[in-house]
């Protein structure tokens, strides 16, 4: 997905010095980290787990759910990994390593419905085991405290994401969901090699957009049984954002036809945009669309946290006769953590009907 990653890099506390020195500094800071290589094919199940030699990485899951009363709910579950220094510069085994292995982890979780948006943020340092990602045979486990994304009982041949459980807990919500993949993994860009700018910014990027979900969301008013669809994004890179890119708008859509769309637009300070999209057929076959194919136009903005955020958009992909209007379920879905951004469930009308998730950063 999304260049969110890059944006996070600009804003998070981990790279503030780079930000302060201007984005040119980022290129230098990349020295020593592994670089994204077009010729390297993704390998599973290994690529489900962490890639500590790259600077940043995330497991990013969004779900569109409905509870027993018919209420629409959105769920977000994200774990970010940030390397604070390349492997080469790490200290030799000292007592420091217990508390600092050169990785810092960040977790975001949220539950959103029309009336409310609840979110939680966690940080963890690598080395303590407070957060991490590991793979045992084909069984994946990604965790941050008691927030877990974990392969369930799957056969030895199955993909790690074939069936997973997902848990998180904030100060006013908790959820426990079971997800079953009803389709294949989808590789974006060129077999997972995703281009983020006209320069060299690239990442590895794949998704599992075919999850069927059921489980429980517990809110202060009690437990609610939910069912619905979910989308998992996996991305890692060492230099995902160009110096002049200030933010992005990213969208994932589940069409009623069973088809899906991933699209993003990276906004530059000079007003230009870099767009990218993947049209996913109902059987999972992806078609990548490069810069310029997707048009994303804001229609209406909403003031949240003192900023004007476009919560209604027109989306056009002429190559697929797509012309839709997307609207936020809750325009106040602001993730007011240490790196604030907008992330919430949406629905689409027009040439196609869909539900999905919208993410907007840099506002």
* Residues near another protein (CB under 8 A): 13-14, 16-17, 84-85, 94-100, 104, 120, 123-125, 127-130, 143, 145-146, 169-174, 218, 220
Nearer to another protein, 35 or 100 (CB): 100
Interatomic CA distance for residues 320 and 105, integer angstroms: 39
Minimal distance, residue 100 CB to another protein, in Å = 4
Nearer to another protein, 116 or 347 (CB): 116
Minimal distance, residue 240 CB to another protein, in Å = 20
Nearer to another protein, 21 or 287 (CB): 21
Minimal distance, residue 70 CB to another protein, in Å = 24
Nearer to another protein, 145 or 312 (CB): 145
Minimal distance, residue 170 CB to another protein, in Å = 6
Nearer to another protein, 173 or 206 (CB): 173
Nearer to another protein, 45 or 127 (CB): 127
Interatomic CA distance for residues 258 and 189, integer angstroms: 21
Minimal distance, residue 219 CB to another protein, in Å = 9
Question: Cis ω on the peptide bond leading into residue 45 (within 30° of 0)?
Answer: yes
Minimal distance, residue 118 CB to another protein, in Å = 9
Determine contact, residues 224/216, Cβ cutoff 8 Å.
Answer: yes
Nearer to another protein, 16 or 272 (CB): 16
Reading the block at residue 363, the tokens are: 């506002």
Minimal distance, residue 217 CB to another protein, in Å = 11
Reading the block at residue 78, the tokens are: 């994200």
Minimal distance, residue 224 CB to another protein, in Å = 13
Q: What are phi and psi of 219, to 5 degrees?
A: -120, 170
Local structure of 188: helix, strand or coil? coil
Minimal distance, residue 144 CB to another protein, in Å = 9
Determine contact, residues 250/194, Cβ cutoff 8 Å.
Answer: no
CA angle 225, 233, 42 (to 5 degrees): 135
Nearer to another protein, 2 or 151 (CB): 151
Determine contact, residues 118/337, Cβ cutoff 8 Å.
Answer: no
Nearer to another protein, 216 or 327 (CB): 216
- DSSP notation for 57-114: EEEEEEEEEEETT--EEEEEEEEEEEESS-GGGPPPS-THHHH-SSEEEEEEEEEEES
The full 3-state SS of 228-269, as one line of letters, equals EEEEEEEEEEEECCCCCEEEEEEEEEEECCCCEEEEEEEEEC
Which one, of 129, 140, 11, 119, lies nearest residue 62 by Cα? Answer: 119
Interatomic CA distance for residues 224 and 222, integer angstroms: 7
């Amino acid at each position: 997905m999304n260049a969110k990653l890059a944006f996070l890099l600009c804003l998070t506390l981990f790279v503030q010095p780079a930000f302060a020195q201007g984005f040119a500094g980022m290129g230098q800071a990349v020295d020593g980290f592994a670089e994204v290589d077009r010729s390297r094919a993704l390998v599973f199940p290994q690529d489900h787990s962490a890639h500590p030699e790259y600077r940043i990485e995330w497991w990013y899951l969004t779900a569109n759910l409905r509870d027993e009363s018919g209420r629409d709910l959105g769920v977000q579950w994200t774990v970010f990994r940030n390397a604070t220094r390349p492997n080469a510069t790490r200290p030799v085994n000292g007592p420091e390593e217990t508390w600092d292995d050169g990785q810092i982890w960040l977790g975001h979780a949220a539950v959103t419905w029309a009336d409310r948006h609840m979110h939680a943020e966690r940080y963890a340092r690598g080395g303590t085991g407070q957060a991490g990602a590991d793979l045992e045979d084909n069984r994946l486990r990604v965790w941050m405290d008691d927030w877990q994304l974990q392969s369930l009982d799957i056969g030895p041949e199955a993909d790690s994401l074939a069936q997973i459980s997902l848990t998180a807990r904030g100060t006013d919500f908790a959820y426990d969901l079971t997800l079953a993949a009803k389709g294949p993994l989808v590789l974006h860009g060129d077999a997972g090699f995703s281009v983020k700018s006209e320069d060299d910014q690239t990442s590895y990027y794949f998704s599992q957009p075919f999850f069927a979900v059921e489980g429980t969301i517990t809110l202060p008013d009690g437990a609610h049984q939910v069912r619905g669809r979910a989308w998992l994004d996996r991305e890692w890179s060492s230099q995902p954002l160009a110096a002049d890119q200030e933010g992005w708008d990213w969208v994932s859509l589940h069409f009623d036809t069973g088809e899906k769309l991933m699209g993003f637009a990276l906004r530059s300070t000079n007003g230009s945009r870099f767009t990218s999209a993947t049209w996913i057929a109902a059987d999972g076959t992806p078609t990548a669309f490069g810069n310029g194919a997707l048009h994303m136009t804001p229609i209406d903005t909403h003031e949240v946290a003192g900023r004007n955020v476009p919560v209604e958009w027109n989306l056009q992909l002429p190559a697929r006769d797509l012309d839709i209007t997307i609207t936020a379920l809750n325009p106040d879905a602001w993730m007011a953590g240490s790196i604030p951004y907008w992330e919430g469930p949406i629905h689409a009308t027009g040439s196609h009907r869909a539900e999905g998730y919208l993410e907007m950063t840099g506002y």
